[in-house]
Amino acid sequence: MTRTVPVGLGDRAYEVVIGRGLLDTAGARIAPFLKNGRAAIVSDETVWALHGPRLTAALEAAGIACPAVIVPPGEQTKSFAGLADLSDRLLALELDRGDLIVAFGGGVVGDLAGFAAAIYKRGVDFVQIPTTLLAQVDSSVGGKTAIDTPRGKNLIGAFHQPRLVLADLDVLATLPAREMRAGYAEVIKYGLLGDFAFFEWLEAHAGQVLSREPEALAHAVARSVEMKAEIVIEDEKEAGRRALLNLGHTFGHALEAETGYGEALLHGEAVAAGSALAFRFSASQGLCEAQDARRAEAAIAAAGLPTRMSEVTAKPFDARTLVRHMGQDKKAEGGRLTFILARALGDAFVAKNVDAAAVTAFLQTEGAL
Ligand SMILES: NC(=O)c1ccc[n+]([C@@H]2O[C@H](COP(=O)([O-])OP(=O)(O)OC[C@H]3O[C@@H](n4cnc5c(N)ncnc54)[C@H](O)[C@@H]3O)[C@@H](O)[C@H]2O)c1
Ligand SMILES: [Zn+2]
Protein backbone atom coordinates (compact mmCIF):
# COMPACT_ATOMS: atom_id res chain seq x y z
CA MET A 1 0.00 0.00 0.00
CA THR A 2 1.23 3.47 -0.86
CA ARG A 3 0.62 6.34 1.55
CA THR A 4 0.75 9.98 0.50
CA VAL A 5 1.37 12.82 2.93
CA PRO A 6 0.66 16.29 1.53
CA VAL A 7 2.92 19.15 2.57
CA GLY A 8 0.54 22.08 2.09
CA LEU A 9 2.81 25.01 1.49
CA GLY A 10 0.73 26.98 -1.01
CA ASP A 11 2.55 27.44 -4.31
CA ARG A 12 5.39 25.32 -2.94
CA ALA A 13 3.14 22.42 -1.89
CA TYR A 14 4.29 18.88 -2.59
CA GLU A 15 3.61 15.28 -1.69
CA VAL A 16 5.65 12.74 0.21
CA VAL A 17 4.88 9.32 -1.21
CA ILE A 18 5.73 6.39 1.07
CA GLY A 19 5.61 2.76 -0.02
CA ARG A 20 7.37 -0.24 -1.45
CA GLY A 21 8.78 -0.49 -4.95
CA LEU A 22 8.53 3.25 -5.58
CA LEU A 23 11.88 3.38 -7.40
CA ASP A 24 10.36 1.38 -10.24
CA THR A 25 7.58 3.94 -10.65
CA ALA A 26 9.86 6.97 -10.31
CA GLY A 27 9.74 7.78 -14.03
CA ALA A 28 6.00 8.27 -14.21
CA ARG A 29 5.96 10.12 -10.88
CA ILE A 30 8.77 12.54 -11.82
CA ALA A 31 7.79 13.12 -15.46
CA PRO A 32 5.09 15.74 -14.66
CA PHE A 33 7.76 18.00 -13.12
CA LEU A 34 10.05 18.00 -16.16
CA LYS A 35 10.09 20.72 -18.78
CA ASN A 36 12.79 19.25 -21.02
CA GLY A 37 12.58 15.55 -20.27
CA ARG A 38 15.88 15.67 -18.39
CA ALA A 39 16.81 15.08 -14.76
CA ALA A 40 20.30 14.97 -13.24
CA ILE A 41 20.64 12.38 -10.49
CA VAL A 42 22.94 13.17 -7.58
CA SER A 43 23.88 10.18 -5.45
CA ASP A 44 26.74 8.80 -3.38
CA GLU A 45 28.94 5.87 -4.39
CA THR A 46 27.38 3.43 -1.91
CA VAL A 47 23.76 4.14 -2.78
CA TRP A 48 24.55 4.30 -6.48
CA ALA A 49 26.22 0.87 -6.50
CA LEU A 50 23.29 -0.70 -4.65
CA HIS A 51 20.27 0.99 -6.20
CA GLY A 52 21.42 3.18 -9.10
CA PRO A 53 20.62 0.70 -11.89
CA ARG A 54 17.00 0.39 -10.76
CA LEU A 55 16.44 4.14 -10.65
CA THR A 56 18.14 4.70 -14.01
CA ALA A 57 16.12 1.92 -15.64
CA ALA A 58 12.87 3.36 -14.27
CA LEU A 59 13.62 6.89 -15.50
CA GLU A 60 14.84 5.74 -18.89
CA ALA A 61 11.76 3.56 -19.33
CA ALA A 62 9.72 6.76 -18.96
CA GLY A 63 11.84 8.46 -21.63
CA ILE A 64 13.73 10.66 -19.17
CA ALA A 65 17.40 11.41 -19.88
CA CYS A 66 19.16 11.05 -16.53
CA PRO A 67 22.89 11.72 -16.33
CA ALA A 68 24.28 10.99 -12.86
CA VAL A 69 26.76 12.84 -10.68
CA ILE A 70 28.16 10.49 -8.05
CA VAL A 71 29.85 11.91 -4.97
CA PRO A 72 31.84 10.24 -2.17
CA PRO A 73 29.73 9.05 0.78
CA GLY A 74 30.09 10.75 4.14
CA GLU A 75 29.59 14.06 5.92
CA GLN A 76 32.83 15.56 4.41
CA THR A 77 31.02 15.75 1.08
CA LYS A 78 28.58 18.28 2.59
CA SER A 79 31.23 21.02 2.36
CA PHE A 80 32.21 24.01 0.24
CA ALA A 81 34.59 21.74 -1.65
CA GLY A 82 31.83 19.19 -2.21
CA LEU A 83 29.45 21.92 -3.36
CA ALA A 84 32.02 23.37 -5.76
CA ASP A 85 32.68 19.96 -7.26
CA LEU A 86 28.97 19.15 -7.63
CA SER A 87 28.12 22.56 -9.14
CA ASP A 88 30.94 22.26 -11.63
CA ARG A 89 29.80 18.82 -12.73
CA LEU A 90 26.19 20.02 -13.11
CA LEU A 91 27.46 22.92 -15.24
CA ALA A 92 29.49 20.47 -17.32
CA LEU A 93 26.26 18.57 -18.01
CA GLU A 94 24.81 21.86 -19.25
CA LEU A 95 21.93 21.43 -16.87
CA ASP A 96 19.60 24.40 -17.24
CA ARG A 97 16.75 26.04 -15.36
CA GLY A 98 14.09 23.82 -16.89
CA ASP A 99 15.86 20.65 -15.80
CA LEU A 100 15.48 18.92 -12.48
CA ILE A 101 17.88 17.56 -9.86
CA VAL A 102 17.09 14.25 -8.20
CA ALA A 103 18.74 13.82 -4.79
CA PHE A 104 19.11 10.06 -4.36
CA GLY A 105 20.69 9.12 -1.05
CA GLY A 106 20.75 9.85 2.66
CA GLY A 107 20.70 13.21 4.39
CA VAL A 108 24.16 14.11 3.14
CA VAL A 109 23.17 13.82 -0.51
CA GLY A 110 19.77 15.42 0.16
CA ASP A 111 21.23 18.45 1.94
CA LEU A 112 24.05 18.93 -0.57
CA ALA A 113 22.04 18.36 -3.75
CA GLY A 114 19.14 20.39 -2.33
CA PHE A 115 21.41 23.34 -1.60
CA ALA A 116 23.03 23.03 -5.03
CA ALA A 117 19.51 23.08 -6.53
CA ALA A 118 18.67 26.20 -4.50
CA ILE A 119 21.58 28.19 -5.94
CA TYR A 120 22.38 26.56 -9.29
CA LYS A 121 21.59 29.21 -11.92
CA ARG A 122 19.57 30.96 -9.18
CA GLY A 123 17.50 27.89 -8.46
CA VAL A 124 16.26 24.73 -10.14
CA ASP A 125 13.58 22.29 -9.03
CA PHE A 126 14.56 19.14 -7.22
CA VAL A 127 13.06 15.86 -6.09
CA GLN A 128 14.13 13.91 -3.01
CA ILE A 129 14.47 10.14 -3.11
CA PRO A 130 15.71 9.48 0.44
CA THR A 131 17.44 6.15 1.04
CA THR A 132 18.14 6.16 4.79
CA LEU A 133 15.52 5.96 7.51
CA LEU A 134 16.76 9.31 8.83
CA ALA A 135 16.35 10.94 5.44
CA GLN A 136 12.89 9.40 4.91
CA VAL A 137 11.49 10.58 8.24
CA ASP A 138 13.34 13.84 8.60
CA SER A 139 15.85 15.45 6.25
CA SER A 140 14.04 14.97 2.91
CA VAL A 141 10.92 16.80 4.15
CA GLY A 142 10.72 20.48 5.02
CA GLY A 143 13.11 22.17 2.62
CA LYS A 144 16.13 22.77 4.84
CA THR A 145 19.29 22.36 2.76
CA ALA A 146 22.85 23.10 3.84
CA ILE A 147 26.54 22.36 3.91
CA ASP A 148 28.92 22.32 6.87
CA THR A 149 31.91 24.58 7.46
CA PRO A 150 34.86 24.07 9.82
CA ARG A 151 32.97 26.35 12.26
CA GLY A 152 29.98 24.08 12.48
CA LYS A 153 27.35 21.96 10.83
CA ASN A 154 24.66 23.24 8.47
CA LEU A 155 25.80 26.85 8.82
CA ILE A 156 25.57 27.72 5.11
CA GLY A 157 22.32 26.82 3.44
CA ALA A 158 18.91 27.76 2.13
CA PHE A 159 15.26 26.89 2.45
CA HIS A 160 14.38 25.18 -0.82
CA GLN A 161 11.38 22.86 -0.87
CA PRO A 162 11.48 19.77 -3.10
CA ARG A 163 8.74 19.28 -5.71
CA LEU A 164 8.21 15.67 -4.64
CA VAL A 165 9.58 13.18 -2.11
CA LEU A 166 9.61 9.44 -2.88
CA ALA A 167 10.34 7.32 0.19
CA ASP A 168 10.77 3.75 -1.08
CA LEU A 169 10.79 1.46 1.96
CA ASP A 170 12.45 -1.34 -0.03
CA VAL A 171 15.74 0.56 -0.37
CA LEU A 172 16.08 0.43 3.43
CA ALA A 173 16.71 -3.33 3.09
CA THR A 174 20.39 -2.62 2.39
CA LEU A 175 20.86 -0.03 5.14
CA PRO A 176 23.32 -1.17 7.85
CA ALA A 177 21.60 -1.93 11.18
CA ARG A 178 23.49 0.85 12.91
CA GLU A 179 22.20 3.45 10.41
CA MET A 180 18.71 2.01 10.83
CA ARG A 181 18.88 2.52 14.60
CA ALA A 182 20.25 6.04 14.14
CA GLY A 183 17.28 6.94 11.96
CA TYR A 184 14.96 5.35 14.49
CA ALA A 185 16.15 7.90 17.06
CA GLU A 186 14.42 10.61 14.99
CA VAL A 187 11.27 8.44 14.82
CA ILE A 188 11.10 8.15 18.63
CA LYS A 189 11.72 11.90 18.73
CA TYR A 190 8.36 12.54 17.03
CA GLY A 191 6.54 10.45 19.62
CA LEU A 192 8.37 12.13 22.47
CA LEU A 193 7.81 15.66 21.22
CA GLY A 194 4.17 15.56 20.25
CA ASP A 195 2.32 12.26 20.04
CA PHE A 196 2.01 10.08 23.12
CA ALA A 197 -0.08 7.46 21.29
CA PHE A 198 2.67 7.11 18.67
CA PHE A 199 5.27 6.83 21.43
CA GLU A 200 3.26 3.98 22.99
CA TRP A 201 2.92 2.31 19.61
CA LEU A 202 6.71 2.54 19.18
CA GLU A 203 7.27 1.02 22.63
CA ALA A 204 5.33 -2.01 21.39
CA HIS A 205 6.71 -2.16 17.83
CA ALA A 206 10.37 -1.07 17.95
CA GLY A 207 11.59 -4.56 17.07
CA GLN A 208 9.31 -4.79 14.05
CA VAL A 209 10.31 -1.36 12.76
CA LEU A 210 14.02 -2.04 13.20
CA SER A 211 13.76 -5.44 11.52
CA ARG A 212 11.95 -3.65 8.65
CA GLU A 213 8.68 -5.55 8.93
CA PRO A 214 6.82 -3.81 6.06
CA GLU A 215 3.59 -2.73 7.79
CA ALA A 216 5.32 -1.51 10.95
CA LEU A 217 7.99 0.31 8.96
CA ALA A 218 5.39 1.96 6.73
CA HIS A 219 3.43 3.20 9.74
CA ALA A 220 6.54 4.51 11.52
CA VAL A 221 7.72 6.42 8.43
CA ALA A 222 4.27 7.74 7.53
CA ARG A 223 3.41 8.96 11.05
CA SER A 224 6.82 10.64 11.35
CA VAL A 225 6.41 12.38 8.00
CA GLU A 226 2.87 13.47 8.90
CA MET A 227 4.14 15.08 12.07
CA LYS A 228 7.04 16.76 10.31
CA ALA A 229 4.73 18.03 7.55
CA GLU A 230 2.24 19.39 10.04
CA ILE A 231 4.93 21.32 11.91
CA VAL A 232 6.60 22.60 8.72
CA ILE A 233 3.29 23.83 7.30
CA GLU A 234 2.71 25.83 10.46
CA ASP A 235 6.21 27.26 10.73
CA GLU A 236 8.24 26.78 7.55
CA LYS A 237 11.15 29.07 8.48
CA GLU A 238 11.42 28.05 12.14
CA ALA A 239 10.08 31.22 13.75
CA GLY A 240 8.61 29.14 16.57
CA ARG A 241 7.06 25.70 16.64
CA ARG A 242 9.42 24.08 14.12
CA ALA A 243 12.12 24.29 16.79
CA LEU A 244 10.33 21.40 18.54
CA LEU A 245 11.94 19.15 15.93
CA ASN A 246 15.22 19.92 17.66
CA LEU A 247 14.28 17.84 20.71
CA GLY A 248 17.47 16.13 21.82
CA HIS A 249 19.52 18.16 19.35
CA THR A 250 21.06 20.83 21.62
CA PHE A 251 22.50 18.18 23.93
CA GLY A 252 23.15 15.97 20.90
CA HIS A 253 25.08 18.60 18.93
CA ALA A 254 27.35 19.19 21.91
CA LEU A 255 28.14 15.47 22.05
CA GLU A 256 28.72 15.40 18.28
CA ALA A 257 31.02 18.41 18.46
CA GLU A 258 33.11 16.64 21.11
CA THR A 259 33.25 13.35 19.20
CA GLY A 260 34.04 14.91 15.82
CA TYR A 261 30.84 14.43 13.76
CA GLY A 262 31.71 11.01 12.45
CA GLU A 263 31.72 7.27 12.89
CA ALA A 264 32.40 7.56 16.63
CA LEU A 265 28.90 8.91 17.18
CA LEU A 266 26.31 9.08 14.41
CA HIS A 267 23.90 12.02 14.39
CA GLY A 268 20.94 9.81 15.32
CA GLU A 269 22.89 8.27 18.19
CA ALA A 270 23.65 11.76 19.48
CA VAL A 271 19.95 12.65 19.18
CA ALA A 272 19.03 9.50 21.12
CA ALA A 273 21.34 10.34 24.01
CA GLY A 274 20.34 14.01 23.69
CA SER A 275 16.62 13.18 23.95
CA ALA A 276 17.21 11.10 27.09
CA LEU A 277 19.26 13.97 28.54
CA ALA A 278 16.55 16.51 27.64
CA PHE A 279 13.93 14.43 29.49
CA ARG A 280 16.15 13.90 32.53
CA PHE A 281 17.04 17.60 32.57
CA SER A 282 13.33 18.44 32.38
CA ALA A 283 12.68 16.11 35.32
CA SER A 284 15.58 17.63 37.28
CA GLN A 285 14.00 21.07 36.81
CA GLY A 286 10.62 19.84 38.00
CA LEU A 287 9.09 20.27 34.55
CA CYS A 288 8.13 16.64 34.02
CA GLU A 289 7.76 13.49 36.10
CA ALA A 290 10.90 11.42 36.69
CA GLN A 291 8.83 8.43 35.63
CA ASP A 292 8.33 9.95 32.14
CA ALA A 293 12.07 10.50 31.79
CA ARG A 294 12.69 6.87 32.76
CA ARG A 295 10.14 5.67 30.24
CA ALA A 296 11.64 7.79 27.44
CA GLU A 297 15.06 6.39 28.32
CA ALA A 298 13.79 2.80 28.33
CA ALA A 299 12.26 3.17 24.86
CA ILE A 300 15.50 4.61 23.48
CA ALA A 301 17.65 1.93 25.13
CA ALA A 302 15.31 -0.82 23.87
CA ALA A 303 16.22 0.21 20.33
CA GLY A 304 19.91 -0.32 21.10
CA LEU A 305 20.59 3.41 21.23
CA PRO A 306 22.66 5.28 23.83
CA THR A 307 20.94 7.21 26.62
CA ARG A 308 23.96 8.15 28.76
CA MET A 309 27.15 10.07 28.07
CA SER A 310 29.14 7.12 29.45
CA GLU A 311 27.88 5.04 26.52
CA VAL A 312 29.20 7.61 24.08
CA THR A 313 32.69 8.16 25.42
CA ALA A 314 35.21 6.30 27.57
CA LYS A 315 36.71 9.57 28.85
CA PRO A 316 34.19 11.86 30.61
CA PHE A 317 33.26 15.09 28.80
CA ASP A 318 33.83 18.46 30.41
CA ALA A 319 30.45 20.00 31.31
CA ARG A 320 31.53 23.59 30.57
CA THR A 321 32.92 22.61 27.17
CA LEU A 322 29.63 20.94 26.33
CA VAL A 323 27.67 24.03 27.37
CA ARG A 324 29.98 26.20 25.30
CA HIS A 325 29.09 24.09 22.24
CA MET A 326 25.43 24.61 23.07
CA GLY A 327 25.97 28.37 23.20
CA GLN A 328 27.45 28.27 19.71
CA ASP A 329 24.55 26.29 18.40
CA LYS A 330 22.97 28.46 15.73
CA LYS A 331 19.60 28.03 17.45
CA ALA A 332 20.94 29.92 20.47
CA GLU A 333 19.86 33.54 20.37
CA GLY A 334 22.07 36.27 21.77
CA GLY A 335 23.91 34.10 24.29
CA ARG A 336 20.81 32.66 25.96
CA LEU A 337 20.40 28.92 25.71
CA THR A 338 17.31 27.57 24.01
CA PHE A 339 16.32 23.98 24.69
CA ILE A 340 13.42 21.80 23.77
CA LEU A 341 12.19 20.48 27.10
CA ALA A 342 9.28 18.28 28.09
CA ARG A 343 6.21 18.54 30.30
CA ALA A 344 5.39 14.89 29.65
CA LEU A 345 5.84 12.13 27.08
CA GLY A 346 4.42 13.57 23.86
CA ASP A 347 4.43 17.14 25.17
CA ALA A 348 7.60 19.10 24.43
CA PHE A 349 7.97 22.87 24.40
CA VAL A 350 10.52 25.50 23.42
CA ALA A 351 12.32 26.80 26.52
CA LYS A 352 14.19 30.06 25.96
CA ASN A 353 16.51 31.60 28.53
CA VAL A 354 17.62 28.32 30.02
CA ASP A 355 20.26 29.01 32.65
CA ALA A 356 23.66 27.73 31.48
CA ALA A 357 24.72 27.14 35.10
CA ALA A 358 21.77 24.80 35.67
CA VAL A 359 22.71 22.84 32.56
CA THR A 360 26.34 22.63 33.67
CA ALA A 361 25.31 21.35 37.11
CA PHE A 362 22.95 18.82 35.56
CA LEU A 363 25.65 17.50 33.21
CA GLN A 364 27.92 17.03 36.21
CA THR A 365 25.27 14.88 37.91
CA GLU A 366 25.26 12.91 34.65
CA GLY A 367 28.96 12.12 34.90
CA ALA A 368 30.55 15.07 33.08
CA LEU A 369 33.52 16.74 34.78
N1 LIG B 1 17.77 19.02 6.11
C2 LIG B 1 17.29 18.57 7.25
O3 LIG B 1 16.19 18.95 7.69
C4 LIG B 1 18.08 17.56 8.01
C5 LIG B 1 17.49 16.89 9.09
C6 LIG B 1 18.23 15.90 9.73
C7 LIG B 1 19.51 15.60 9.30
N8 LIG B 1 20.06 16.27 8.26
C9 LIG B 1 21.41 15.95 7.77
O10 LIG B 1 21.40 14.61 7.29
C11 LIG B 1 22.72 14.11 7.34
C12 LIG B 1 22.70 12.70 7.86
O13 LIG B 1 21.91 11.91 6.98
P14 LIG B 1 22.02 10.31 6.98
O15 LIG B 1 21.96 9.83 8.37
O16 LIG B 1 21.03 9.84 5.99
O17 LIG B 1 23.51 10.07 6.52
P18 LIG B 1 24.22 9.74 5.12
O19 LIG B 1 23.59 10.45 4.01
O20 LIG B 1 25.66 9.98 5.36
O21 LIG B 1 23.97 8.19 4.97
C22 LIG B 1 24.53 7.30 5.91
C23 LIG B 1 25.34 6.20 5.23
O24 LIG B 1 24.44 5.24 4.67
C25 LIG B 1 24.75 4.99 3.30
N26 LIG B 1 23.47 4.66 2.67
C27 LIG B 1 22.47 5.52 2.34
N28 LIG B 1 21.40 4.83 1.90
C29 LIG B 1 21.73 3.53 1.94
C30 LIG B 1 21.03 2.33 1.62
N31 LIG B 1 19.77 2.35 1.22
N32 LIG B 1 21.70 1.16 1.77
C33 LIG B 1 22.96 1.13 2.24
N34 LIG B 1 23.66 2.22 2.56
C35 LIG B 1 23.05 3.41 2.43
C36 LIG B 1 25.40 6.25 2.83
O37 LIG B 1 26.23 6.01 1.72
C38 LIG B 1 26.20 6.68 4.06
O39 LIG B 1 27.42 5.99 4.11
C40 LIG B 1 23.51 15.06 8.21
O41 LIG B 1 24.38 15.80 7.42
C42 LIG B 1 22.46 15.96 8.83
O43 LIG B 1 22.94 17.26 9.08
C44 LIG B 1 19.36 17.24 7.62
ZN1 LIG C 1 18.38 15.26 13.64
H or E element at residue 183: helix 177-194
- Contacts of 301 by beta carbon, 8 Å cutoff, 6+ apart: 307
To the question of pTM greater than 0.85 for the whole model, the response is: yes
Residue nearest to atom 4 of ligand 1 (CA): 139
pLDDT, tens digit (0-9, with 9 covering 90-100), for 206-243: 999 999 999 999 999 999 999 999 999 998 998 888 99
Cβ of 161 closer than 6 Å to ligand 1, yes or no, is no
pLDDT, tens digit (0-9, with 9 covering 90-100), for 145-159: 999 998 888 999 999
Cβ of 228 closer than 6 Å to ligand 1, yes or no, is no
Centre of ligand 1 from the C-alpha of residue 289, in Å: 34
Of 123, 141, 174, the residue that ends a domain is 174
Q: What pLDDT shows up at residue 240?
A: 85
Q: Looking at the structure, do residues 205 and 316 belong to the same domain, yes or no? A: yes
Q: Looking at the structure, do residues 15 and 36 belong to the same domain, yes or no? A: yes
* CATH number of the CATH domain containing 211: 1.20.1090.10
Q: By residue range, what is the domain housing residue 207?
A: 177-365
Of 174, 195, 215, the residue that ends a domain is 174
Total number of domains constituting the chain = 2
Q: Looking at the structure, do residues 201 and 322 belong to the same domain, yes or no? A: yes
Judge whether 248 and 275 are in contact, CB under 8 Å: yes
First to last CA, the chain: 51
Judge whether 274 and 248 are in contact, CB under 8 Å: yes
Judge whether 355 and 347 are in contact, CB under 8 Å: no
Q: Locate the ligand 1 atom nearest the alpha carbon of residue 174 and give its number.
A: 32
Of 7, 41, 42, 47, best ligand 1 pocket probe by most atoms within 8 Å of the beta carbon: 47
* CATH number of the CATH domain containing 32: 3.40.50.1970
Q: If we measure between CA atoms, which residue out of 208, 168, 166 comes closest to residue 187?
A: 208
**Residues classed as catalytic:** 122, 144, 186, 228, 238, 242, 246, 249, 253, 267
Instruction: Give the CA diameter of the chain.
Output: 62
Helices (H), ranges, 96-148:
107-119, 133-134
Cβ of 153 closer than 6 Å to ligand 1, yes or no, is yes
Q: Looking at the structure, do residues 184 and 233 belong to the same domain, yes or no? A: yes
pLDDT, tens digit (0-9, with 9 covering 90-100), for 86-107: 999 999 999 999 999 999 999 9
The residue type at 184: Y
Strand partners, 14: 7
Of 159, 174, 189, the residue that ends a domain is 174
Q: Looking at the structure, do residues 169 and 287 belong to the same domain, yes or no? A: no
Q: If we measure between CA atoms, which residue out of 119, 122, 114 comes closest to residue 140?
A: 114
In the predicted structure, residue 324 carries a pLDDT above the cut 80: yes
Cβ of 267 closer than 6 Å to ligand 1, yes or no, is yes
Ligand nearest to the CA of 118: 1
Cβ of 103 closer than 6 Å to ligand 1, yes or no, is no
